Structure 1
Amino acid sequence: MTKIVAANFKTNHTKKTTKSYLESLEKKLLASDKIYIFPTPIALCENNFKHLKVGTQNAYPILNGAFTGEVGLESLKELDIKTILIGHSERRNILGESQKFCAEKFDFFAKEDFEIIYCVGEDISIREKGVENVKKFIKTQFENIPVQYPKLIIAYEPIWAIGSGMSASAEQIQQTHSFIKEISPAPVLYGGSVNIKNIAEILNIQEVDGVLVGSASLNIDSFYKIIQEARNK
């Protein structure tokens, strides 16, 4: 199975720098690569690349309407964007998106035949209570989520590892991915301080089907090195 490599730019890069990045990266990619890029919403562009897919970090589950500051399906359709991130911890914890709302989003975009990268992960207080508590918490993040959805990709991102420079250990990743694979047959990505120093070790874990990369994706050279490592696996 080809390893999946996804980049979440979060609130980084402009429309101009995103366009340059995507055009440059496209030239380096192979037909066998499975690459997803999630730019900041204002930098979304037409999804007309051959070797990568442009997705949206967020959207409101509506065609259009009175939802200030949100992106609707109508705008995504115009750009031919059919991939979305749902459930990222920053949206859950900073912006207050509940499990109920994540499930509503999932249902709406699944009915529109989107590829969905669905994010789950625990904070440090839960991790410190042990593996069984981690499993119990992650299970709650699948409430009302159709885990058999054929266009589902799951991203396991321990919150305590995101942006901290401290990745989960190989044993922690293996244990958690194995548990998630008992819940759903979908591919499972790892995210949380993935970089060029730890990518080989992470991708060597049998249960890891790819990675969701944050800060290490902002520089095209470092991100391409991660892609090259994925090809080797």
Structure 2
Amino acid sequence: MIIAANLKTNLTRKQTSEYVDELEDFLNKNKISQEILVFPAPSSLNTHSGKVTIGTQNAYAAANGAFTGEIGQDHLDEFCVKTILIGHSERRHVLGETQEELVKKFNYYKEQGFKIVYCIGEPLEVREAGNETMMKYISAQYEGIDTDYKNLIIAYEPVWAIGTGLTPTLQEIETIHKELKKKSSAPLLYGGSVKITNANDVLALKSVDGILVGSAALNVKNFCSMCEYAQNIENKKIKENI
């Protein structure tokens, strides 16, 4: 499974370093073999070697240039970062990134061989309009994206559930994940108010390949527990198949 933490605009570089060190120590002591991704704030990026993979929450589709307020590939290369989050709902709905811009970014970092966690999801009004409308809305977010890219991870995050404490039912998550898996064979994560109290149940769903955790990941001990949940589920599956 893939367990990812999006730290958003939180934690200084020093705090992030302490966070990653504590997480790394936990993973090693508890023999966690799951894929663990952490996306710090851009100013908190640093070189890291270990079980934790450090990714960037955003970057411009260029090595460098006159793009005020952005970071480019040169900055990521300095810290050996080769993983990027693209299309997060806050980038789409708060900062106004268009599908055209996201495709340009996707294609640039695909050419550089980056692991891409590509986010999709719908706002509440679209979900309430019915399944057909919802799937049409989500399908549009796949336009221009190479769903066969070997380093692709897709994260489904219902926009209305992010940071609200609201989540779809487990059955709703399973149902939409089954539909989305028809569009790509890439690992499919669930994101949207994932927290310590529901992470284990979400991870246990057959069509869920991992989770993308936001604010609940800021507590490193809780995030460590989520990594352990995933390991326990995988261990149980292996034992049952022996």
Scaled to the shorter chain, the TM-score interval is: over 0.9
User: Structure 1: how far apart are the matches of 2:25 and 2:17?
Assistant: 13
Report what 1:59 is aligned to.
Answer: 59
Q: Does 1:186 align with 2:156?
A: no
Q: Does 1:196 align with 2:191?
A: no
What's the CA shift string for 1:41-97, capped at 9, x where partnerless?
A: 110011x32101000000000011000110100110111000000000100111110
Q: TM-score, normalised by structure 2?
A: 0.93
How many percent of aligned residue pairs carry the same amino acid?
47
| Unaligned 5+ runs, structure 2 | 234-242
Superposition deviation, residue 213 in structure 1: 0.2
Q: Is the 8 A contact 2:159 2:192 kept in 1?
A: yes
Q: Does 1:43 align with 2:67?
A: no
User: Structure 2: how far apart are the matches of 1:61 and 1:32?
Assistant: 32
User: Structure 2: how far apart are the matches of 1:216 and 1:95?
Assistant: 22
Q: Is the 8 A contact 2:193 2:213 kept in 1?
A: yes
Superposition deviation, residue 33 in structure 1: 2.2
Q: TM-score, normalised by structure 1?
A: 0.97
Q: Is the 8 A contact 2:148 2:184 kept in 1?
A: yes
Q: Is the 8 A contact 2:3 2:211 kept in 1?
A: yes
Q: Secondary structure at the match of 1:182?
A: coil
Report what 2:137 is aligned to.
Answer: 137
Superposition deviation, residue 215 in structure 1: 0.8
Superposition deviation, residue 31 in structure 1: 5.7
Superposition deviation, residue 32 in structure 1: 1.3
Instruction: In structure 1, give the amino acid aligned to 2:149.
Output: Y
Q: Is the 8 A contact 2:2 2:35 kept in 1?
A: yes
Q: Is the 8 A contact 2:156 2:189 kept in 1?
A: yes
Runs of 4+ that moved beyond 4 A:
none
| Unaligned 5+ runs, structure 1 | none
Query: What is the RMSD computed on CA atoms of the aligned residues?
Result: 0.8
Q: Is the 8 A contact 2:147 2:183 kept in 1?
A: yes
User: Structure 1: how far apart are the matches of 2:196 and 2:209?
Assistant: 17
Superposition deviation, residue 170 in structure 1: 1.1
Q: Is the 8 A contact 2:32 2:228 kept in 1?
A: no
User: Structure 2: how far apart are the matches of 1:187 and 1:52?
Assistant: 18
User: Structure 2: how far apart are the matches of 1:231 and 1:99?
Assistant: 35
Matches within 5 A, 1:65-84: 65-84=65-84
Matches within 5 A, 1:98-137: 98-137=98-137
Report what 2:87 is aligned to.
Answer: 87
Superposition deviation, residue 197 in structure 1: 0.6
User: Structure 2: how far apart are the matches of 1:163 and 1:20?
Assistant: 24
Superposition deviation, residue 147 in structure 1: 0.3
